[in-house]
Amino acid sequence: MSEIRRHGIGRRHFLYGAAAVAAGVMSNTGCTPEDARGSGGQGGVPVIAVDAQRRSFTVSPFMTGVNGAKWYDDAYGMWDAEHNRPAPGIVGKIKKAGVGMIRYPGGTSSNLFNWRVTVGPQESRGRQVEGKQGATVDSRFGPDEYMAFIREVGATPQIMAPFANSTPDEIADWVAYMNAPQGTTWGDLRARNGHPEPYGVRYWEIGNELFGKYQRYWMSADDDKAMRQYAFGGTQRQKRQRVGTPTDHRPSAAVSNGQPNQSFTVWYPPVVPKSQTIRVDEDTWREVADLASAGADDPVYTFTPKSGGIRFGDGRHGKIPQKGSKITADYDSGPHAGFVDYYTKMKAVDSSIDVLAIWAPIEDGKLAGGKSFPELMAEHGHADTYDGMAIHPYTDFSRDLKATSFPDKRAGHDYQMLGDAAAATMVSDLTAQVRKHGKDDAYIAVSECGALFFGGEREADAYPEYTYAMSHALYMASQWARFADLGVRWTASNDLIGEKPGLSRTLFGGAPSFVTTPDAIVREQLSDFFHGGGHVVASEVKDNTEVSTRETPLGSSYDALVTTAALDKDGALSVLVVNRSPEDDIKSRVELGSFRHATTVDVSVVAGRSYDDFNDAELPDAVTIEKSRATAHGTSLTWTFPAHSVTLLRFPPSTSS
């Protein structure tokens, strides 16, 4: 496939776009005295107005974080198990991209994570259950390997502590393992494992998307009841649930092999004593205290409520379930602790950590209605028993736009841009709820985000590259700009790397090539913006250009330009402008208000050759950063932003009096 066919347009258009940015401030085309005196918005030209005197939030260095690769299978090749080190091919790329935070051990797959079997010598580590498919997976990439990776790439750690299968004491012990000094039980164990100094992990969240219908685990299917169970704990009846083993929840794990002395466990112990009904196929068997007194044909079992363990006989003392029979259980799972208990135990170990709740359900492109988690906590006197909330404001094309597919490639681009504003509104609305009902310093974080067809890629046949093309980079840059203006403390997108070689919905492709996507390129471009210290300052786009789309539940047009601005610790003003228009360069006026800058402006542009451009192993540098310097005078500047581009303008402060 030729480069021209793949990317749609040639190199000439891209070079024109980059040149147009520089030309926008040169004395013969841009900031003339007439321009400087002109009023904003004349002739329908958008105006990007910046007020550097109006500072708001501290710029977060964790804005461009990422959800880590799954911990099993050596984190999909991210960890070099043979040499006990991060895979060399990924370290430099993560550093270059300026990834500020990496979430561990992951999302849905980690909801049943057991941290205690992931530390210590590799040969003594246990296997465990993957939280989505219930498969048995390894524990090689544990917290110590994760922290070694974190330190190698220079990122900040953030841990998702599982809720569905853990206890507050277990997670408090994890906090102690990560943060307690030597001279304590867990600090000494960490030291014996080769890590004497505390890791100092500050950011923790409890559970992942437990509000989702397919991530309830032991909790109720009723939304309000489940939220209360998440907050305060409880007991819930499980019906006709397959049994398994402590390391396997797949259907095959619930099937008898016909051997004597078989053992199984229910999925979500502990179990209320005597609440269980165990069936072998459709026959109900009977609990006994001791199999030794049972006859050869007695359909009986023993049961351990704390572990949920089920044991059948050997054919002499208790009947053996026939080979191929399916074992299921009804039982009362619990009592389980709730978020308040986790928070209290974890903060008792280390009061400096932040423990975030995650109950922020979304429906139809907005926060779900009804009573919110902040309201519930305030009602019960626990407004101060959480440090913030983590939300996953995904754009789900099926849920939010009612799309079963992309009608064409352009729709794949437009749907992402339409979803961006809706995602930002979700975050804004949750922020308002926390400010109204929570404590003064509670905050919002985003621990997963992106634009996706959940459930498969066949729906994206018209634009299969949408998750790793320039379109998604524009979506993410828009998210970072909006989240910065909302004071989001940290943001993690989905995902760091993929399971297989090649590309998928990741920041980098899979091992061993780890292809750098446009998303990663834009992160590199914005690294200084988010890591430069300082504060977000007021900015807005007046008379914005609208891009028309087909009619959707999220509207039929979107703003072409999205912007934010920041004043860094050196006094330089950086203005981020995302032009999401798939086709049109947009000439704009940039108004800097009272800010006085030097005459040299640093300019960087990421645009590709078209909105569907992407990097791959064949063309790893199809999308790159174009850097230049331009000369600008005055505080009212005319600029041309290329189509489908992310532009960063950095104005050093004037040194003149």
Instruction: Say what the pLDDT of residue 50 is.
Output: 97
- Is the pLDDT reported for residue 440 higher than 60? yes
pTM greater than 0.75: yes
Provide the 10 A C-beta neighbour count for residue 255.
17
More reliable by pLDDT, 70 or 126 = 126
Instruction: Indicate the DSSP class of residue 10.
Output: -
Rounded to an integer, the average pLDDT of 212-230 is: 96
Instruction: Say what the pLDDT of residue 356 is.
Output: 98
What residue ranges do the domains of the chain occupy?
Answer: 68-230+337-406+425-465, 234-336
Fold of 68-230+337-406+425-465: TIM Barrel (3.20.20)
Query: In which band, very low, low, confident or very high, does the pLDDT at 610 lie, cut at 50, 70 and 90?
Result: very high
Rounded to an integer, the average pLDDT of 588-604 is: 95
Strand 586-591 and strand 636-641: the pairing is antiparallel
Query: In which band, very low, low, confident or very high, does the pLDDT at 340 lie, cut at 50, 70 and 90?
Result: very high
- Is the pLDDT reported for residue 17 higher than 80? no
Instruction: State the DSSP H helix or E strand holding residue 374, giving kind and residue range, or none if neither.
Output: helix 373-379
- Is the pLDDT reported for residue 455 higher than 90? no
Coil, helix or strand for 172?
helix
Select from 424, 426, 411 the least CA-distant residue to 556.
411
Mean pLDDT of the chain: 91
Give the position of tokens 């451009």.
613
SS (H, E, C) 550-579: EEECCEEEEECEEEEEEECCCCCEEEEEEE
Establish how many alpha carbons lie within 13 A of residue 330's alpha carbon, considering only the half-sphere containing its beta carbon.
Answer: 11
Rounded to an integer, the average pLDDT of 400-405 is: 94
- Is the pLDDT reported for residue 457 higher than 70? no
> Over the stretch 183-215, which tens digit does the pLDDT of each residue have?
999 999 999 999 999 999 999 999 999 999 999
Query: In which band, very low, low, confident or very high, does the pLDDT at 253 lie, cut at 50, 70 and 90?
Result: very high
Rounded to an integer, the average pLDDT of 351-356 is: 98
Ramachandran category for residue 41: left, alpha or beta (phi over 0 → left; psi -120 to 50 → alpha): left
Percent of the chain with pLDDT over 70: 92
Rounded to an integer, the average pLDDT of 582-590 is: 97
Cα 537 to the chain's mean position, in Å? Answer: 26
Instruction: Say what the pLDDT of residue 112 is.
Output: 97
- Is the pLDDT reported for residue 3 higher than 90? no
Q: For residue 444, give both structure tokens.
A: 């919002």
Coil, helix or strand for 492?
strand
Contact (CB, 8 A) for 462 and 403: no
- Is the pLDDT reported for residue 28 higher than 50? no
Rounded to an integer, the average pLDDT of 425-444 is: 97
Percent of the chain with pLDDT over 90: 85
Residue 277 CA to residue 288 CA, distance in Å, equals 12
- Is the pLDDT reported for residue 656 higher than 80? no
Instruction: Say what the pLDDT of residue 544 is.
Output: 97
Residue 510 CA to residue 76 CA, distance in Å, equals 7
Instruction: Say what the pLDDT of residue 502 is.
Output: 63
Instruction: Indicate the DSSP class of residue 261.
Output: S
Residue 136 CA to residue 126 CA, distance in Å, equals 10
Give the position of tokens 């540098």.
621
Which amino acid, residue 386?
Answer: Y
Query: In which band, very low, low, confident or very high, does the pLDDT at 422 lie, cut at 50, 70 and 90?
Result: very high
Query: In which band, very low, low, confident or very high, does the pLDDT at 657 lie, cut at 50, 70 and 90?
Result: very low
Instruction: Say what the pLDDT of residue 1 is.
Output: 30
> Over the stretch 549-569, which tens digit does the pLDDT of each residue have?
999 999 999 999 999 999 999
- Is the pLDDT reported for residue 134 higher than 70? yes
Query: In which band, very low, low, confident or very high, does the pLDDT at 509 lie, cut at 50, 70 and 90?
Result: confident
Instruction: Say what the pLDDT of residue 157 is.
Output: 97
